[in-house]
């Protein structure tokens, strides 16, 4: 059964408006800034995949096709809100001020990549890989905001597959029971690795999972940044002003492989992917901006060159960071040292001393 939940779309895949646009959509400075950020995210994403292919970082989860969701979310959160992200969140992390070199360090297996420098991101959580557990962490953060009487929001993201997990449903439940200032952004990109959305869950929408928890849920076209911004703005305002949590299901498509360790051609057909490319978010906003006379090929080329230079600078900063000493594997794990770990560290130090040149990088 499908309850009558709202679904919002402003722009068709060709960039034409399908309903009257919100008034803020006249702000072309804002829209071109959002567009720049989407292009920057995509170029960075391509570079991250290339760095994995050449062995300079480990596994990476591409964000290709999810740029509108993350850029919209990041553009509307306030600096003192807290982001509790998952692993396909390059777009929103960049909006929060996480540096590209930090993202590369993280995927290169270096803890310094989760030690964000930018003040906007400093209280944000690191990427969460265990599926859906971050939804509960976000409820913990939101509970603290509520107890302290602060008008801040915890924003947490996850995929469609994550909504099948107990952790997600428990998080919705506690958010509803305690009316927490939390927004759940579900990136419904149609696939959970090789499992398609239609066999993940019997409900016609994922947004309706909110109903059982007594919270507000709705769907939005996740390829339409105007729609995501509009609904995200409402969701944040609602949560911030004590009116309860929101589940925003953003319908999108994972255009890339699940991660660089995956080959999606083994389980989904080329025609489906070709159709999904017709809907993709970057082209859609570009077509809208062009139709309004504020974008053209010259601006596009200049933007790409500018973003590529920014990505290149980040790659250089990443490479200049060097490799951490081996002993760093012991750091930041325990406040008080378990004795077994102390022995392991001593053994490592002895071995390093025995090797010529002292500290080595294996
Ligand atoms: C607790 C847990 N179980 C299983 C996995 C393995 N795993 C990694 S990604 C993934 C699929 C997640 O799909 P979805 O939630 O739709 O997010 P997407 O990757 O599509 O963005 C699974 C099962 C994991 N990381 N954590
Ligand atoms: Mg998915």
Q: What's the predicted TM-score (pTM) here? A: 0.95
Is the confidence at residue 28, as pLDDT, over 80? yes
Residue nearest to atom 25 of ligand 1 (CA): 130
For residue 328, pLDDT over 90 is answered with no
Tell me the residue range of the domain where 343 lies. Answer: 325-362
pLDDT of residue 337: 84
Q: Residue length, the chain?
A: 362
| Distances from the Cα of 249 to the Cα of 94, 111, 217, 342, angstroms | 21, 31, 8, 46
Distance from Cα 249 to the centre of ligand 2, integer Å? 12
Same domain, 259 and 158: yes
Q: Please tell me whether residues 123 and 173 are part of one structural domain.
A: yes
Are residues 277 and 345 located together in one domain of the fold? no
Q: Is 52 in the pocket of ligand 1 (CB under 6 A)?
A: no
Q: Per-residue pLDDT tens for 244-287?
A: 999 999 999 999 999 999 999 999 999 999 999 999 999 999 99
Is residue 362's pLDDT more than 50? no
- pLDDT (tens digit, 9 = 90+) per residue, 142-181? 999 999 999 999 999 999 999 999 999 999 999 999 999 9
Ligand 1 binding pocket includes 254 (Cβ within 6 Å)? yes
235 with 332, same domain: the answer is no
Gap from CA of 237 to ligand 1 centroid (Å):
30
What's the pLDDT band for 213 if we cut at 50, 70, 90?
Answer: very high
Looking at residue 114, what is its pLDDT?
A: 95
Query: What separation in Å is there between the alpha carbon of 289 and the centre of ligand 1?
Result: 35
Residue 126: predicted pLDDT = 97
Q: Is the Cβ atom of 132 under 6 angstroms away from ligand 1? A: no
- The residue whose CA is least distant from atom 7 of ligand 1 is 131
- Is residue 192 lining ligand 1, measured as CB closer than 6 Å? yes
| Same-domain pairing of 204 and 119 | yes
Whether residues 209 and 228 share a domain: the answer is yes
Residue 130 Cβ inside 6 Å of ligand 1? The answer reads yes
CB under 5 Å of ion ligand 2: residues: 159-160, 189, 191-192
Domain total of the chain: 2
**Residues 303, 339: one domain?**
no
Is pLDDT above 60 for 35?
yes
Q: Do the domain assignments include residue 85?
A: yes
pLDDT at 359 over 90: no
CA distance 276 to 293: 26
Between the alpha carbon of residue 280 and those of residues 8, 63, 217, 254, the distances in Å are: 16, 12, 24, 10
Same domain, 210 and 357: no
Return the pLDDT at 361. Answer: 52
């Amino acid at each position: 059964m499908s309850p009558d939940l709202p679904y919002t779309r402003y722009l068709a895949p060709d960039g034409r408006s399908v309903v009257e646009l919100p008034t803020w959509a006249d702000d072309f400075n804002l829209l071109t800034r959002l567009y720049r950020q989407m292009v920057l995210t995509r170029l960075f994403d391509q570079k991250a995949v290339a760095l994995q292919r050449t062995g300079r970082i480990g596994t990476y989860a591409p964000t290709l096709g999810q740029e509108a969701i993350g850029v919209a979310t990041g553009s509307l959160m306030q600096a003192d809100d807290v982001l509790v992200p998952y692993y396909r969140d390059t777009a929103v992390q960049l909006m929060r001020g996480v540096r590209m070199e930090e993202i590369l360090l993280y995927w290169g297996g270096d803890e310094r990549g989760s030690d964000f420098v930018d003040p906007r991101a400093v209280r944000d959580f690191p990427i969460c890989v265990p599926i859906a557990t971050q939804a509960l962490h976000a409820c913990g953060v939101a509970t603290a905001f509520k107890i302290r009487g602060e008008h801040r929001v915890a924003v947490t993201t996850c995929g469609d597959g994550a909504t099948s997990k107990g952790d997600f449903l428990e998080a919705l439940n506690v958010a509803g029971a305690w009316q927490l200032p939390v927004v759940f952004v579900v990136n419904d990109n149609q696939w959970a690795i090789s499992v398609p959305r239609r066999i993940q869950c019997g409900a016609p929408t994922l947004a309706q999972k909110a109903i059982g928890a007594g919270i507000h849920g709705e769907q939005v076209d996740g390829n339409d940044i105007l729609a995501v911004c509009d609904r995200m703005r409402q969701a944040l305002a609602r949560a911030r002003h004590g009116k309860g949590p929101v589940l925003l299901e953003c319908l999108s498509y994972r255009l890339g492989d699940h991660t660089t360790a995956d080959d999606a051609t083994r389980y989904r057909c080329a025609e489906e992917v070709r159709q999904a490319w017709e809907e993709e978010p970057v082209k859609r906003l570009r077509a809208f901006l062009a139709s309004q006379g504020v974008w053209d090929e010259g601006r596009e080329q200049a933007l790409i060159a500018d973003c590529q230079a920014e990505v290149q600078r980040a790659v250089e900063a990443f490479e200049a960071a060097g490799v951490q000493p081996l002993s760093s594997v012991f750091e930041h794990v325990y406040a008080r040292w378990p004795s077994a770990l102390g022995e392991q560290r001593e053994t490592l130090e002895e071995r390093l001393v025995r090797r010529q040149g002292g500290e080595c990088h294996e």
